[in-house]
Amino acid sequence: KETKDQLIIDAGQKHFGATMCKSCGMIYTASNPEDELQHVQHHHRFLEGIKYAGWKKERVVAEFWDGKIVLVLSHDPSYAIRKVEDVQELVDYELGFQQVVSRCPNRTKTFLFISDEKKVVGCLIAEPIKQAFRVLSEPTGPESPSSKECHRAWQCSDVPEPAICGISRIWVFRLKRRKRIARRLVDTLRNCFMFGCFLSTNEIAFSDPTPDGKLFATKYCNT
């Protein structure tokens, strides 16, 4: 493990750091054969996974100048379910999740943001919940634990609060971030999750947010 790290560092010194692939978004060291191989493998799998050919029956729930949002439900045709599974696999890989089986897959709603280039560039997976625990504001100051240690261990209140909808995954393709795609996915979820009502931000909860997810959720819920 140590020698491998050392190799990457050496390569980085000679070539001044990492490259980001302009089509799959992976960051790697082009001068490192192992890294390059890993990129080639990821590249094809990823681009194949997010390819969206268009479906005979698709549930378009929002349309924008740069794409549309398609909703997939558990009883949809197998081609739709397969695409959702492929995308979820890529998302879970990126988030470092182990294969987690959803607790109530038949009530899961998946929203895919399809770009004009016919790619799935955003994904939101939601399920009904009954309660959630509010994330407490982070302790700051010299006594707070190192940022590495609190990577995911946010402090949560132990008082449950009623909630309706849990967001188990939210993801946007690296090269399409900060274009309000996540915001539009959550807006659409709030509008479509329960027929005839627009959920308030108090009624939705983000499960186990990553640092990116927490930054987004904080911003989203305050505006």
Binding residues vs ligand ACO (CB under 6 A): 95, 167, 169-172, 177-183, 206-207, 209-210, 212-213, 215-216, 219-220
Is 21 an interacting residue with respect to Zn ion (CB under 5 A)?
yes
Q: Which is nearer to ligand ACO, 28 or 171 (CB)?
A: 171
Please name the residue that has the structure tokens 């959803």.
102
Residue 84 to residues 29, 165, 186, Cα–Cα distance (Å): 30, 19, 17
Q: Work out what residue 20 binds among Zn ion, ligand ACO, none; the CB cut-off runs from 5 to 8 Å by kind.
A: none
**DSSP-based three-state secondary structure for 52:** coil
Indicate which single residue of 18, 19, 38, 43 sits in contact with Zn ion (rule: CB under 5 A): 43
Nearer to ligand ACO, 68 or 179 (CB): 179
Q: How far is the CB of 164 from Zn ion (least distance, A)?
A: 39
Query: Binding partner of residue 21 among Zn ion, ligand ACO, none, CB under 5 to 8 Å per kind?
Result: Zn ion
Taking a C-beta distance cutoff of 8 angstroms, is the pair 61, 48 a contact? Answer: no
Told to check if 50 binds Zn ion by CB under 5 A, we report: no
CA 92-177-174 angle, 5° bins: 45
* Minimum distance of ligand ACO from residue 31's CB (angstroms): 27
Beta strands 109-115 and 156-162, pairing class:
unpaired
- In this structure, what are the phi and psi dihedrals at residue 172, rounded to the nearest 5 degrees? -130, 135
Q: Which is nearer to ligand ACO, 15 or 180 (CB)?
A: 180
Q: Residue 22 or residue 75: which is nearer to ligand ACO going by CB? A: 22
Distance between CA atoms of 141 and 90, rounded to whole angstroms? 37
Closest approach, Cβ 48 to Zn ion, in A, equals 12
- The footprint of Zn ion on this chain (CB under 5 A) covers a number of residues equal to 3
* CB neighbour list of residue 72: distance below 8 Å, 6 or more residues apart: 59, 80, 81, 83, 84, 109, 110, 111, 112
Judged by beta carbon, residue 10 or residue 48, the one nearer Zn ion is: 48
CA distance 132 to 164: 9
Pick what 70 binds: Zn ion, ligand ACO, none; C-beta below 5 to 8 Å, kind-dependent.
none
Judged by the rule CB under 5 A, the positions of this chain that interact with Zn ion are: 21, 24, 43
